[in-house]
Structure 1
Amino acid sequence: MKILHIISSAAAGGAEVYARDLSIEMAKRGHDIFIVFLDRASEAGRDLSFENAFLKQLQKNNIKYGFIGQKARRNPIIGIFSLRHFVKSFNPDVVHSHLYYGAVFSLFLNGVKRVYTHHNIRLRANKSIYKLLDLRIDAYIGICDACKRLLEDVTKVPVHHIDNGVDESRIIKKSQYIENNPVKLLFIGRLSDQKNIGLLLEAASYVRGSDFLLMIAGEGALLPELKALSEKLGIASKVRFLGNVIDVKTLLNESDVFVMSSAWEGLPIAQIEATLAGLPVLVTNVGGCSEIVNNVGNGVVVNVDIGEYSVALEELVNDYSIRLKFHNNAIKNSWIYSITTSVDKHLSVYDSL
């Protein structure tokens, strides 16, 4: 099968990494894959070294790719004709968009099946856009139950639930879970309003008892503001801002607890990576975060509330026995979020169209 994926950029975002893993696994199974990127890293203000590493992985797996350019966000005509150019040269059976810009551009194609995956619990586009998409989209995919229900409220086209997955070859599972001092807490993600890192920092400032080190891996415009906040809260000596990290698997393996305090989410790839690595997690009850924890049994879910979050964080930092139990559950149950399971379900959807 010839499959063309459309994603925003070759960046460290969860949707982008997931689409890359899907593409690589599909290519390994003998499918012909082409990826169209909307933005270059330089246009989107993303890490250029990560883009280079991302593209090298595609090349290694014989996956072709091309770029539309950020101008298409302001002028859809550019996106429509650029995508038609790629489709004419590649001749795919399925065009699968992972952002609504790509889904809109795909409406003007002929002779292909169209799939759109929504990667967040917020629509971001006006609901009327989905009436337009319904004219030619053949199937929608929601990455968690909450996302599926969200889509079902705005479309009459079939919506499939396929959980995000992670390529386990990118993960080093913790073979032993020892008691460390300080306890290493890890956040991975973009430094944005969505990730609500201010709540995490404030909660950390209330933690008493065992020593801890909070490592924040990611890039974003809020970095200066978050550094200033850690200073103001008096915890700068316990916080490390690591920037964009390419060797995520080693960082996960060397950590003790994965923490995330998002205001909204879809089904976070970073949380799945941490779960497959065998880490206990502390997450907020947004999007599909609780679905992962409930299915695997490896952590604590709290509301987006500083009081609840700080109490749960202090308990995890101070109670090794709870962390060990969550680790064991993660090792035992996390297989359901493997990329192979996700690819099986995607191919089944494509075949049904």
Structure 2
Amino acid sequence: MRILHVVETLHVGGLERVVIDLVQQQVTLGHECMVNCLFEKGSLAGELEERGIPVSCCNKKSSLDLKAVRSLTGTARAFQPHVVHTHNMSSNYYAALALMNNRRIRLINTRHGIGTMPRKQKWFFGASLLRTARVVGVCHQATELLRQQFPLFHHRMMTIPNGIVLDRHPPRSREQHQRLTRQLDLPEDSLLVTVVARLNPVKNHRMLIEAFARTAENIPRARLVIIGDGELRPMLEKLVRDLAIADRARFLGDRRDVAELLAGMDLFVLPSTQEGHSISLIEACASGLPIIATNVGGNPEIVRDGFNGLLIESENTGELASRMEDLLRDREKREKFGQNGRAWAETEGSVQTMAQRYQNIYEHD
């Protein structure tokens, strides 16, 4: 089967990571794949090109760009895909326009987020659903929101959770912990709390930092390791200084060795105000980390309260501080949650499971 994936870019991000892993798994299964980026290729495109998987781009402008439509039409005509799989909204309505005169190609869309759509974008996306065979939400809440927004097409909508390459994620170990504390120039007995997320408002690092400052007063061994970058970094670094925890916090920026870093941590926290089906949470599960996450979006579909982690209410700094302190004091519970998380990832969070579920809708109505 020939499969053309359409994305905005392949810059560093959760959606982009899912697409790259899915494409590589599909190639492993014997399919012929190609990726088209509406804007520029992005920094992750090389991972595919190194494997001989072609990546093209339309160099789309910010507004409705008919040249980009023609470019995508030409790509589809040359590649002759059986399926065009688009990711998020703009990719789908550009693909729908490009395939307007070719009804034989099956169009599948995945909505990776859960946020609100601008009015104009919502109209374009709704119109594109006339040409779309299946619309996938990455968590049940995302799918229900799509059904509410576009009730005419509710029968075409379903849920397929994200998956990751589990083999990339070594389990948490004492050796990795020792290596990481040396790398970060921290005491060997440090208890490492981490988050992997873009530094933007929706990820709510501010709440984590404020809660950690409270926890650190009672847990002197606690250290905070923030992985990711973004526009809020200067403000968050200032907040760390203002709370007098600069010596207990590390900002690592964007990293390519996230799997190795996670294997040395003790606790993973995701304090988002909204979330789809978080790749970071799946990665934390695969690494055998106990988790504290806000009870929003698709988080409860990954973090089962009392099984592989704890769920807290969004914007409750006091609750987060208390739960962090409880888990950092209870090594046995951390171990139990971590083992349960890895077991869940092996059955529900793998790229193989995700690819098989997409294969089913590529081939069947």
TM-score by length of 2: 0.88
- Counterpart-to-counterpart distance in 2, 1:328 and 1:22: 26
Residue range with higher mean Cα deviation, 201-210 or 20-29:
201-210
Structure 1 contact 296–334 (Cα < 8 Å) conserved: no
Matched, 1:340 2:352: yes
Alpha-carbon distance, 1:99 to partner? 1.9
SS at 2:244 equivalent: coil
Residue range with higher mean Cα deviation, 111-120 or 337-346:
111-120
Q: Which residue in the other structure is 1:29 paired with?
A: 29
Q: Which residue in the other structure is 1:139 paired with?
A: 134
Q: Which residue in the other structure is 1:209 paired with?
A: 218
Q: Which residue in the other structure is 1:115 paired with?
A: 108
SS at 1:328 equivalent: helix
Which of 251, 275, 291 pairs up with 2:285?
Answer: 275
Q: Which residue in the other structure is 1:45 paired with?
A: none
Structure 1 contact 296–329 (Cα < 8 Å) conserved: no
Q: Which residue in the other structure is 1:7 paired with?
A: 7
Alpha-carbon distance, 1:194 to partner? 1.3
CA deviations on 1:32-54 (whole Å, 9 max, x unpaired) are: 1111123337xxxxxx7xx1xx3
Matched, 1:222 2:222: no
* Cα RMSD (Å): 2.0
Letter in structure 1 aligned against 2:327: L
Structure 1 contact 120–287 (Cα < 8 Å) conserved: no
Q: Which residue in the other structure is 2:184 paired with?
A: none
CA deviations on 1:235-270 (whole Å, 9 max, x unpaired) are: 111111101101111111111111111111100001
Letter in structure 2 aligned against 1:316: L
Matched, 1:317 2:328: yes
CA deviations on 1:191-241 (whole Å, 9 max, x unpaired) are: 111111111111111113322111111121111111111111111111111
Which of 30, 39, 49 pairs up with 1:59?
Answer: 49
SS at 1:149 equivalent: helix
Residue range with higher mean Cα deviation, 208-217 or 97-106:
208-217
Q: Which residue in the other structure is 1:44 paired with?
A: none
Which of 250, 256, 269 pairs up with 1:246?
Answer: 256
Alpha-carbon distance, 1:116 to partner? 1.0
User: Which protein shows a greater Rg?
Assistant: 2
Structure 1 contact 296–333 (Cα < 8 Å) conserved: no
In structure 1, the gaps of 5 or more residues are 42-47
Q: Which residue in the other structure is 1:104 paired with?
A: 93
Letter in structure 2 aligned against 1:68: C
Q: Which residue in the other structure is 1:16 paired with?
A: 16
Structure 2 contact 173–263 (Cα < 8 Å) conserved: no
Structure 2 contact 90–125 (Cα < 8 Å) conserved: no
- Counterpart-to-counterpart distance in 2, 1:206 and 1:248: 26
CA deviations on 1:37-86 (whole Å, 9 max, x unpaired) are: 23337xxxxxx7xx1xx333212433111122251x32332331221121
Matched, 1:94 2:83: yes
Q: Which residue in the other structure is 2:185 paired with?
A: none
Alpha-carbon distance, 1:175 to partner? 5.4
Residue range with higher mean Cα deviation, 150-159 or 140-149:
150-159
Return closer, same or farther for 1:228/1:295 CA change in 2, 3 Å cut-off.
closer
Q: Which residue in the other structure is 2:149 paired with?
A: 154
SS at 2:277 equivalent: coil
SS at 1:245 equivalent: coil
Which of 286, 297, 303 pairs up with 1:287?
Answer: 297
- Counterpart-to-counterpart distance in 1, 2:173 and 2:246: 31
Return closer, same or farther for 1:147/1:314 CA change in 2, 3 Å cut-off.
same
Which of 160, 167, 170 pairs up with 1:169?
Answer: 167
Letter in structure 2 aligned against 1:164: N
- Counterpart-to-counterpart distance in 2, 1:285 and 1:129: 31
Structure 1 contact 145–161 (Cα < 8 Å) conserved: yes
Return closer, same or farther for 1:251/1:175 CA change in 2, 3 Å cut-off.
closer
Letter in structure 2 aligned against 1:191: L
CA deviations on 1:133-189 (whole Å, 9 max, x unpaired) are: 221111100111111111111223311211110011221123569897211111111
SS at 2:218 equivalent: coil
Residue range with higher mean Cα deviation, 159-168 or 171-180:
171-180
- Counterpart-to-counterpart distance in 2, 1:253 and 1:104: 40
Alpha-carbon distance, 1:308 to partner? 1.7
In structure 2, the gaps of 5 or more residues are 179-187
Letter in structure 2 aligned against 1:293: V
Count of matched residue positions in the alignment of Structure 1 and Structure 2: 342
SS at 2:201 equivalent: coil
Aligned identity (percent) is 30
